[in-house]
A = this chain, B = another copy of it.
Amino acid sequence: MTATIINIGDELLIGQVVNSNASVMSQMLTASGIGVNDVLVCGDTRDAILLSLQRALTDSDIVLITGGLGPTKDDVTKQVLCDYFGSELYENEEALANVRRIFAARGYELTEVNRRQAWVPRCCTMINNSVGTAPCMWFDLEGTDRRQVVVSMAGVPFEMEHLMRTEIVPRLQRQFQTGVILCKNILTQGIGESFLSDLVEPWELSLPEGLSVAYLPVSGMVKMRLTARGSDETSLRKRIDDAAAALRAVAGQYIVGEDCETLPELVAQRFAERQLTLATAESCTGGAIAAAVTALAGASAYYRGGVVAYSNEVKQAMLGVGADVLQQHGAVSEPVVRQMAEGARLRMGADYAVATSGVAGPGGGTAEKPVGTVWMALASPSGTIAQCKHYSGPRSQIVVRACNEIFAWLARSVR
């Protein structure tokens, strides 16, 4: 079972909008056992839409289209689909009732133009979009050799997501009998993708039928995703657990955690489970660690707070770093980063505290401390430890890598 995603919209071709719809849809389809062949992004023109549709129907069983369903003349998707399937538009009662309801709730008058939202091709199954005015259209194509489906839905991200989750994915699963799919994430850190895949190659080659692994590298870490496909959930679960155990035996030292998506999520889980608290003291990461911690709902359960100690004066005043230590060793040094972590832990009353001080660049590097040098410290009830890392790449990469190192360090420290 394979799908092609077509995202329609001029705004996607001038770089104004990042096409997050494609990744959300791909994730949902992949998790349902439907492989995505390709994603085609085109503008709001008849020719571009037809070309994309033809290619999609050559490639895939399922074609999911977003966008171009607004009431203005820019949006032509509905008319193009109607013509392509040789149908005609009619006013759908249920869709009209939905449009009326939404306009009434917003306190807007229903104009003739907006009423046109309720028109759909006669040959499609109208699927009501309860969170927006553009109805979803489902086209069944009964070919001689295979059955195909084309679905057109709104491009507004939360409308698309709602329709995919509540209507489209369940219908696809029924119609195409996609079977059972289980996934398991394993977060690794401290080893590059190619070295990791070399290390675990014998394990990977011995994976049983129906089990596959994907390597998902993000700055400074690699997420491994095990996927099992079949028909019986219990046996799939056992197969995936056995594979994870075998993986632990060969690459355990690089495995930071399992069953979550990101390192900050893993840290949040472990701190919550142990009822521990965290404080941060950041110089070169400039608040990026705090922002990643607090981006997750429920962070207040374990995160006390942090100091972004960008200037030396703030390191002294807010964290109690000694003026003499700064003078003697410089801000990017082991003694300073230790005092930062200890000051943060003490002053914010946390069990654990982490600190960073480095040269994020592009300026500020010296022969002794080049751009990419980052000192880090971790203060805990059992004492303070420090390490120095050297990163390459632009400022943003150095910050991201330092953040991931800190989160992996925290996750390893709180098992």
| Chain B residue with the shortest CB-CB distance to A307 | B307
Contact at B286–A294, with CB atoms within 8 Å?
yes
A38 touches which of B40, B102, B393 (Cβ 8 Å): B40
Decide: A16 near B307, CB < 8 A? Known: A37-B48, A38-B42, A158-B393. no
Which of A23-31, A243-251, A404-412 is the contact stretch? Answer: A23-31
Other-chain contact of A361, B40, B297, B311 (Cβ < 8 Å): B297
Known contacts A290-B308, A308-B280; is A15 also within 8 Å of B26 by CB? yes
Is A105 at the interface (CB under 8 A from chain B)?
Answer: yes
Contact A318 B347 (CB under 8 A): yes
Shortest distance in angstroms between A104's beta carbon and chain B's nearest beta carbon?
Answer: 11
Determine whether the beta carbon of B287 is less than 8 Å from that of A11. no
Asked if A216 and B11 sit within 8 Å, CB to CB, the answer is: yes
Kindly list chain B residues whose C-beta atoms are within 8 Å of the C-beta of A396: 158, 295
Q: Which B residues lie within 8 Å of A294 (CB)? A: 285-288, 308, 310, 360
Q: Are A313 and B392 in contact (CB under 8 A)?
A: no
Is A367 engaged at the interface, CB distance under 8 Å to the other chain? no
CB pair B347 A317 closer than 8 Å: yes
**Chain B residues with CB under 8 A of A297:** 360-363, 395
- CB pair B39 A392 closer than 8 Å: no
Q: Which residue of B lies closest to A347 (CB)?
A: B317
Instruction: Choose among B10, B39, B72, B349 the residue that contacts A41 (Cβ–Cβ < 8 A).
Output: B39
**Chain B residues with CB below 8 A from A225, complex form:** 16
Residues from chain B with Cβ under 8 Å of A12 in the complex: 22-23, 26, 39
CB contact between A18 and one of B16, B23, B38, B363 (< 8 Å): that residue: B23
Is A14 touching B158 in the complex (CB atoms < 8 A)?
no
Please measure, in the bound complex, the distance between the C-alpha atom of A291 and the C-alpha atom of B303, giving whole angstroms: 17
Interface magnitude class on chain A: 35 or more
The residue from B13, B17, B291, B306 contacting A36, defined by CB atoms under 8 A apart: B13
Question: In the assembly, what is the distance between CA of A294 and CA of B356, in Å?
Answer: 14
> Nearest Cβ in chain B — how far from A312, in angstroms?
10
Chain B contacts of A20 at CB under 8 A? Answer: 18
8 A-B pairs with CB atoms under 8 Å apart are A17-B23, A18-B22, A287-B291, A290-B308, A304-B310, A306-B308, A308-B308, A314-B348
Chain A contact residues, CB within 8 Å of chain B: 10-20, 22-30, 35-43, 48, 51-52, 55, 59, 70-72, 102, 105-106, 113-114, 131, 158, 162, 194, 197, 214, 216-217, 225, 279-280, 282, 285-291, 293-295, 297-300, 303-311, 313-315, 317-318, 347-349, 360-363, 392-397, 399
Further 5 A-B residue pairs, CB within 8 A, beyond A13-B38, A318-B347: A279-B314, A287-B293, A297-B363, A304-B311, A317-B349
User: What are the 5 closest A-B residue pairs judged by CB atoms, nearest first?
Assistant: A286-B294, A287-B290, A15-B27, A305-B314, A15-B26
